[in-house]
């Protein structure tokens, strides 16, 4: 760090691993995002990087609430674990909801948008965004839990 307090290395602060746990609901997703972003604040990430993290996590968590726990009366636990690595943030998300269709990640392909408004697809952009913005995205069903792993290549300035 230079005397001015500004440095390319200022994003290399070490962040201890942490976990944010919630019970699935739309309001809980907002709470989880706030807690997650507060926890990574010491990294002093650029606004664009923080925005990417928020967008990816919001898409994943909202998909879990909507599809893994579709019955609002039967919410369940969601745990978001984050560990800083040299090549970004490794994020693992676990839930006990319904498994992914066919037991695997959606393809994440972008649906055609050059159609009439009435034929415009509703949804289907989330997995495209997740797989476009995150790296090393993987899914497994282990002992009745969904395990989603991904790396967000942020905070690596000057490397």
Q: Per the domain annotation, does 63 fall within a domain?
A: yes
Q: In whole angstroms, give the CA distance from residue 39 to residue 30.
A: 14
Q: Per the domain annotation, does 1 fall within a domain?
A: no
21-61 tens-digit pLDDT: 999 998 999 999 999 999 999 999 999 999 999 999 999 99
Q: Per the domain annotation, does 7 fall within a domain?
A: no
Q: Per the domain annotation, does 107 fall within a domain?
A: yes
Q: How many domains does the chain have?
A: 1
pTM: 0.80
The kind and range of the H/E element at 121 are: none
Domain that holds residue 103: 16-152
**Nearest one of 27, 67, 35 to 53, comparing CA atoms:** 35
Q: Per the domain annotation, does 3 fall within a domain?
A: no
More confident residue, 159 or 76: 76
Task: Provide the CATH number for the domain around residue 84.
Answer: 3.30.565.10
Select the highest-mean-pLDDT range: 12-16, 83-87, 121-125: 83-87
């Amino acid at each position: 760090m230079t005397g001015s307090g500004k440095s390319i290395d200022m994003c290399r602060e070490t962040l201890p691993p942490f976990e944010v746990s919630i019970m699935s609901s739309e309001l809980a997703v907002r709470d989880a995002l706030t807690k997650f972003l507060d926890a990574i604040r010491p990294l002093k990430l650029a606004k664009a990087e923080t925005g990417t993290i928020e967008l990816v996590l919001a898409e994943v968590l909202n998909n879990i609430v909507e599809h893994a726990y579709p019955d609002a009366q039967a919410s369940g636990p969601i745990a978001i674990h984050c560990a800083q690595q040299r090549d970004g943030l490794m994020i693992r998300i676990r839930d006990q909801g319904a498994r992914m269709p066919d037991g695997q990640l959606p393809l994440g392909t972008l649906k055609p948008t050059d159609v009439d408004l009435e034929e415009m697809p509703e949804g289907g952009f989330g997995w495209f965004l997740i797989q476009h913005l995150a790296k090393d995205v993987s899914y497994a069903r282990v002992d009745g839990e969904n395990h989603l792993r991904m790396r967000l290549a942020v905070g690596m300035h000057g490397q």
